Structure 1
Amino acid sequence: MTDNTRTQVKATIRRAMKAAERATNELDATAMNELGVLYQSVLSEIQFLVMNAADELGEVRLSQLQTLTREIETLLDQLAQTQASMVDGYIVQAAQHGGTTFSTTVAAATVSQSIDEAVLAVRTMTHKDGLQLSDRLWRVDCHAREVITQAVERAVILGQSASEAAQAFRQRSQPVPADIARNAGLSNAAGISRTVAQELMVNDGAPYSQIKRVMRTEINRAHGMAFQNAAFEDEFVVGTQFKLSPNHPKPDICDMHARANLYGLGKGVYPKGKSPWPAHPNTLSYEQVVFVDEVTEEDRTSQTDRISWLKGQSRKGQKAVLGHDKKVAALQQGHLKENMIATPWKHLEPLLKRKGIDTGTL
């Protein structure tokens, strides 16, 4: 292939790569919007059930609790099925965007296989925490069922008990204690509806925020894995480059992955099967293809390892990557090994102690 033709092919691939990135970003935005609509719809249905279960005073009585919780659980089961289907559908679309980047240089059957393999990997891979995608979805579903039903049960039970206690005080012409008066309003349907909204959509760790994190992570993963699979079917591709998003919020371990030249291919460039991307859930980082003729002599001679690269950074930069002052001290004193870089300090400290290292002096 002539240099001019190769240059044109590379330019075509780069345009396709940027188009695929834009398409996946748009896919992510669509997915987040669809999730928002879905959760708001389910929330409205739960709130309708709560209001419908209330008596003429607007209170949900204990006699209605079992039926109400059963109806809520049915809605949450439907939510679980719908969002699982959504996640799977968006994974397939994201993989298609990533894989078809190389449709001009890689055979259609190979591209299709690259996409299928990426989708299967995202569905079935077991991560460091021992969980697969189905496990993560199950956890979101269980959490939703737990926080919503417990919130409703607590409000109704405490509210009715407090109402009965308050009534007893009033019958004796005694003032109702402040804590009992507060709890007496818990079983009010409007209050329960507000609590449900907080638990489902707003609070830290709410099911809505959890499923958005899962969805975004797996869309990104599917795109990237299909991209990698197809990229290395092109004979001129030597690696993929770990790139930081323009919206990268603050320095972290991604900065090391993007800037260390571990394989003599350039900063952040990894051969097939060696890329650390994605480095963490909900990542904004992405990858670009690197061709063999783009690797310079400087790239080849400036190869380093992660520990050496870290030691060359400022203490602030080391802390950004390692996340803990004690880990920085362990690095500077020569105790930190490459396989410890991503290990949280709470897990790393016992390991260092077993090696006879006094972590109290770090």
Structure 2
Amino acid sequence: MAENERTQVKATIRRAMQAAERATNELDAQAMMELATLYQSALVEIQYLITNAADELGMVRLSQLQALTTQIEGILNQINLTQSNMVDGYIVEAAKNGGNTFSTTIPAERVSQSIDSAALAVRTMKQKDGLQLSDRLWRVHRNAKEQLIQAVERAVILGNSAADAAQEYQRRAEAVPSEISQQANMASNSALNKKMKDVLIDDQGAPYHQIKRVMRTEINRAHGMAFQNSAFEDEFVVGTKFKLSPNHPRRDICDMHARVNLYGLGKGVYPKGKSPWPAHPNTLSYEQVVFIDEITEDDRTNTSNRIDWLKGQSRGTQKAVLGHDKKVSALHRDILSQNMIATPWKHVEPALKRNGIDTDSL
């Protein structure tokens, strides 16, 4: 291919790459908005059920508990079905954005295969914890049921028990202890409605935040995998470059992946099948294509490894990447291997002990 023509093709791919990144960012924003609407609507339904189950004093009695929890479970089942369909749909759209980046340079059939392969991989691949996407979605659903049902049952049981105790104090014309009054209020519809909002949406580990994390991670993964699949169908593509988002919030393992020249292709550039992207859930990092004529002699000769790169960083950066002070100490004592860098300390420590290393001394 003539040099000028190849330059034009590369420019076209880069424009398509930027457009695909924007489209997936917009897709992510749309998904988050749709998810927020789903959970807010479900919360309104649950709060309506609670208010409707309360008596004339605004208390949910034990006699209403079983029916109420059954109704709440039904709403949570519907959330699970809806969000599972949402995740699947957004995965396909994100894969299309990534794969179609190269629609002008590779045959349509290969683009289609790249997209289908990425979508299938996202659905079926097992992560380090052994879970597939369907397992993660089920775990979010299971946790939602456990957290909400247990919260309702605890509030109603303790609240009714405290209300009975308060009546006994009143019958004896004695002051009701403040802790009894507070517990009795737990079964009120106002307190229960607030509790449901906290448990379902507001708390840090709420199901809403769990599913946001899953959905955002898999949308990005689908885009990236389809992008990689299509990219390497182009004979001039030699690798993909691990890029930090302009909104990269803090130093972490992504900084290492973006700056180490492992393969002689340049800093953060990885050949087919070797990219560590995505390095963690909810990542903001992304990838760009690298062409063979962009690799310099300096790139080819100045290779590095992760351990050496880490040793050249500040202790703060080392801790940010490794995630544990003892892993930092292991690095300085030359007993941390490259395959331990991303491994949690709870798994690294037994491996070191098996090699006769006193981890208490680290």
TM-score of the alignment, normalized to the shorter chain, above 0.5 = yes
Counterpart of 2:352, as a letter, is L
Partner of 1:306: 306
Question: Which residue in the other structure is 2:233 paired with?
Answer: 233
Residue 329 in structure 1 maps to residue 329 in structure 2: yes
Query: Once the 2 structures are TM-superposed, how far is the Cα of residue 329 of structure 1 from its aligned partner?
Result: 1.6
Q: Distance in 1 between matches of 2:358 and 2:312?
A: 25
Deviations 1:145-174 (A, max 9, x none): 111111111111111111111111111111
Give CA deviations for 1:260-299 in whole Å, capped at 9, x if unaligned.
0000000000000000000000000000000000000000
| Structure 1 residue matching 2:240: 3-state secondary structure | strand
Letter in 2 for 1:246: P
SS in structure 1 of the partner of residue 238 of structure 2: strand
CA drift at 1:316: 2.5
Give the drift of 1:8.
0.2
Q: How is 1:98-247 mapped onto 2 (pairs within 5 angstroms)?
A: 98-247=98-247
Q: Give the aligned partner of residue 296 of structure 1.
A: 296
Query: Is 2:281 the counterpart of 1:281?
Result: yes
2:10 corresponds in structure 1 to 10
Aligned to 2:258: 258
Equivalent AA in structure 1 for residue 275 of structure 2 = S
User: Residue type matched to 1:351 in 2?
Assistant: A
Distance in 2, Cα, partners of 1:181 & 1:207: 30
Q: Which runs of 4+ in 1 moved over 4 A?
A: none
Aligned mates of 2:290, 2:24 — CA distance in 1: 20
1:164-205 Cα offsets, whole Å, 9 max, x none, are: 111111111112122211111111111100100000000121
Letter in 1 for 2:158: L
User: Secondary structure, in 3 states, of the residue corresponding to 1:241?
Assistant: strand
Residue 39 of structure 1 is matched in structure 2 by 39
2:55 aligned counterpart, secondary structure: coil
1:17-28 equivalences under 5 Å are 17-28=17-28
State the secondary structure of the residue aligned to 1:293: helix
Give the CA deviation at 1:354.
1.7
Say which SS state the counterpart of residue 123 (structure 2) adopts: helix
- Amino acid aligned to 2:182: R
Hey, what does 2:75 align to over in structure 1? 75
CA distance in 2, matches of 1:194, 1:320: 37
Higher alpha-carbon deviation: 301-310 or 43-52: 301-310
CA distance in 2, matches of 1:300, 1:266: 7
Amino acid paired to 1:219: I
Whole-angstrom distance in 2 between the partners of 1:351 and 1:152: 43
Task: Give the alignment's TM-score, normalised by structure 2.
Answer: 0.99
Q: Deviation of residue 315 (structure 1)? A: 2.4
**Which amino acid in 1 is paired with 2:44?**
S
Q: Distance in 2 between matches of 1:245 and 1:49?
A: 44
Aligned to 1:316, the other structure's residue is in SS state: helix
Equivalent pairs counted in the alignment come to: 362
The DSSP-based 3-state class of the residue aligned with 1:239 is strand
Distance 2:39 2:165 in 1: 37
1:358: how far off? Answer: 1.8
Q: What is the rounded CA distance, in whole Å, between the counterparts of 2:60 and 2:172 in structure 1? A: 25
Aligned counterpart, 1:357: 357
CA shift at 1:126, angstroms?
Answer: 0.6
Offset, 1:311: 1.9
Instruction: Tell me the CA shift for residue 49 of structure 1.
Output: 0.4
Length-normalised TM-score, structure 1? 0.99
What SS is found at the alignment partner of 1:278?
Answer: coil
Bigger drift between 321-330 and 125-134 goes to 321-330
Kindly state the Cα deviation for residue 243 of structure 1 after the two structures are TM-superposed. Answer: 0.3
- The alpha carbon displacement at 1:307 in A equals 1.4
1:346 is aligned to 346
Unpaired segments of 5 or more residues in structure 2?
Answer: none
Aligned to 1:318: 318
More off after superposition, 315-324 vs 257-266: 315-324
Q: How much does 1:331 deviate? A: 1.1
Secondary structure at the counterpart of residue 261 of structure 2: coil
Aligned-pair identity in percent equals 71
Alpha-carbon distance, 1:235 to partner: 0.3
Aligned to 2:287, the other structure's residue is in SS state strand
State the one-letter code of the partner of 2:38: L
Q: Deviations over 1:227-279 (max 9, x none)?
A: 00000000000000000000101111101100000000000000000000000
Cα distance in 1, alignment partners of residues 55 and 128 from structure 2:
50
Task: Give the match's secondary structure for 2:105.
Answer: coil
SS in 2 for 1:265: coil
SS at match of 1:249: coil
Letter in 2 for 1:236: F
